A and B are shown apart, each in its own frame.
Chain A
Amino acid sequence: MTIVNALLQGVFLGAFYAVLACGLSLMFGVMRIINLAHGDLAVLGAYIAFVVVDRTGASALVAFIVALPVMVVFGYVLQLTVLERSLKAGLLTPLLATFGLSIVIQNLLQIVFSPDVHSLGGSAGSLTTSSWQVTGGLSVSALGVVVLVVAVLVFSALQLFLSNTRAGWRMRATAEDADAAELVGIDSRGVYARATALAVAIAALGGLFLAIRSVFDPVSGPTQLIFAFEAVVIGGMGSLWGTLLGGIALGVAQTLGAQVHPQFSVMAGHLLFLAVLVVRFGGARFSLRFAR
């Protein structure tokens, strides 16, 4: 029973990782870049919600609805000021620029909010405390179910947007070939900016879940980025639904790892990620040459 429970908790945890990873996957799919500040943007979203809760006493959900437009604008501006320029400059520049941005966000958060740890668990009403006891060893937390449902809804909504709306078609066309899309009159700058705004908004939702599920501080971002990237890679880079499955695989690996040893949880996720990389990119083409 503990294994079944661990699997179930792993699915819930994985759904959270999938939400974190969704925006990262979208930006990679559309622009072929990985935003190394993605985790920090999620944490920034959590902090904005925290400020609203702290000042007004509103619930975490209301606070998130306030934070959302702020993050959308932030994403839009980020694309137009930093990412757009870095896209033109080569393969490594987006990584370097977003890594720098990541350090800036973390340390500005430290300056504004102090290094203290916060949580929004107390502001999410009964969501964080209620659960259903199925049998002795198996309990289903309400929060876990909500996160899973929201994750599926987010991915479904994104899929519907990409396949059934004109804006979605433009985004897919730009992802396929930005120059060709320009030729038929699609403004790729605008498409990229909308994609980043969307990605940052979904990252903020991941940040909200982080804040409700556990705790966050100014330097929580890099860990979230690593988990999100692992989910994207495990699921297959460039595949949207793959990211949902990748997140769940990562979550399950972590909870199963924790069954072996509590300190083995994160390690199990890392090992799954590295194993996927080895299988996908290693293979029989290993060769050891240094020169000549």
Chain B
Amino acid sequence: MKVERWTRTSRTFTAGVAALVVVLFAVPLVLDPDVVQKLTTLLILVLLAAMWNALAGYGGLLSVGQQAFIGIGAYGTVFFAGLGMTPYAAMVAATVLAGAISIPISLFALRLRAAQFAIGMWVIAEVLSLIVRLDRNLGAGTGISLIQLNQYEPNFRQAYTFWLALGFTVLFLAALFFLLRSPLGASLQAIRDDEDAARSLGVRVAARKRMLFVLAAFGCGAAGVLVVANTLFIEPASVFSVQWSAYMIFMVLVGGLGTFEGPIIGAILLFAIQTTFTQGGPWYLVGLGAAAALFALFLPRGLWGTVEERLGLRLMPVGYRVVDRRNGSGEVTTT
């Protein structure tokens, strides 16, 4: 019997991911700007999925209102740029703002349970949307452009935005990865598996959940920043739309709730669907909604969770596993 974290596969794969990130940094140098814009969208989806999964998959907190932080990130960028900050500095400031606002929100939001939390967060997003609609300086209901970005030549702008997206995605996914691998991570995974049991073993459930909540707010704020940087125009009806939550839920449920790799797979899948069915319209959304419901009911661990379970495969190890050497092959007991 032996407890191990890394396997040969996971070592190779994680090294491959690191190499991929390095390669991705070169993307704007070789690919067309419109491809770069599409890949930026993919990175935004990956970031959103990973953050929603941090919240729901590990904290057991199902939010239908993460668009609140997307909106703070997007409108915060416009706001700070309007104050005279250079656009990219405004983007970093807006990300920090989203994370900072989440702390007072967490004070009461985390006391809510299940549906109260889900819809409470949704109402917070609606309130923020209404506030933006009342503010003419933020374009009220009709939307606003991040005109300050026009000072950059389009190809360079697209490249900068892509690098920022890649930087944010790597930063937040790495933060989550190392958080889950740290001693704290073991307690987070204990909460995921059984909140009451974790509490009875002395895990400070509330403090851990707050950590995830703030991390997810930072990440969604960063995603909102990237949305405005990538599209240059935002309006409250779309940036605060509950549709973001629908996307996040789809990506995480289909990919694998409570797994590290699953949401990334879900994001790639959603991206592939979006690029294939550009004229998708309602049918494509019917498919997303139905898939989310069906996965929740019939395959709650999602595609990756199921693969992981069946094959004992680990690509980005955040847990440990017990290997019984006597039988030769590894018998996985923990994640």
Residues of A contacting B: mostly? helix
User: Could you tell me the distance in whole angstroms from the C-beta of A210 to the nearest C-beta in chain B?
Assistant: 18
B29 beta carbon closer than 8 Å to chain A: no
A291 beta carbon closer than 8 Å to chain B: yes
Indicate if the CB atoms of B116 and A89 lie closer than 8 Å: no
Binary contact track B264-305/A, C-beta < 8 Å → 1, others 0: 000000000000000001110110111111101100100000
Of all chain A residues, the one with the shortest Cβ separation from B123 is A270
Contact of B126 among A93, A103, A226, A291 (CB under 8 A): A226
B64 beta carbon closer than 8 Å to chain A: yes
Of all chain A residues, the one with the shortest Cβ separation from B211 is A290
A75-97 contacts to B, CB under 8 A, are 82, 85-86, 89, 91-93, 95-97
Indicate if the CB atoms of B114 and A34 lie closer than 8 Å: yes
Residues in B with CB closer than 8 Å to A110 are: 281-282
User: Could you tell me the distance in whole angstroms from the C-beta of A250 to the nearest C-beta in chain B?
Assistant: 12
User: Could you tell me the distance in whole angstroms from the C-beta of B283 to the nearest C-beta in chain A?
Assistant: 7
A125 beta carbon closer than 8 Å to chain B: no
Residues in B with CB closer than 8 Å to A267 are: 127, 130-131
Indicate if the CB atoms of B297 and A89 lie closer than 8 Å: yes
Binary contact track A260-274/B, C-beta < 8 Å → 1, others 0: 000100110011011
User: Could you tell me the distance in whole angstroms from the C-beta of A168 to the nearest C-beta in chain B?
Assistant: 25
Binary contact track A93-116/B, C-beta < 8 Å → 1, others 0: 101111111111011101100000
Residues in B with CB closer than 8 Å to A285 are: 111
B311 beta carbon closer than 8 Å to chain A: no
Total count of chain A residues near the partner, CB < 8 A: 52
Of all chain A residues, the one with the shortest Cβ separation from B243 is A103
Contact of B206 among A100, A107, A108, A289 (CB under 8 A): A289
Contact of A290 among B118, B131, B214, B300 (CB under 8 A): B214
Indicate if the CB atoms of A277 and B112 lie closer than 8 Å: yes
Contacts A99-B64, A100-B289 known; A289 to B204 CB distance under 8 Å?
A: yes
B210 beta carbon closer than 8 Å to chain A: yes
A249 beta carbon closer than 8 Å to chain B: no
Residues in B with CB closer than 8 Å to A237 are: 116
Indicate if the CB atoms of A289 and B120 lie closer than 8 Å: no
CA distance A48 to B111 in the complex (A): 39
Of all chain B residues, the one with the shortest Cβ separation from A35 is B115
Residues in B with CB closer than 8 Å to A277 are: 108, 112, 116, 120
Residues in A with CB closer than 8 Å to B288 are: 103
CA distance A33 to B119 in the complex (A): 13
B103 beta carbon closer than 8 Å to chain A: yes
Contacts A229-B119, A273-B123, A286-B107 known; A104 to B133 CB distance under 8 Å?
A: no
Question: Can you list 27 A-B contacts with CB-CB less than 8 angstroms, sorted by A residue number?
Answer: A33-B115, A34-B114, A36-B115, A86-B297, A89-B300, A92-B60, A93-B297, A93-B300, A99-B246, A99-B289, A99-B292, A100-B294, A102-B289, A104-B289, A108-B282, A111-B283, A226-B122, A229-B119, A266-B130, A270-B127, A273-B123, A274-B127, A281-B116, A287-B206, A288-B103, A289-B204, A289-B210
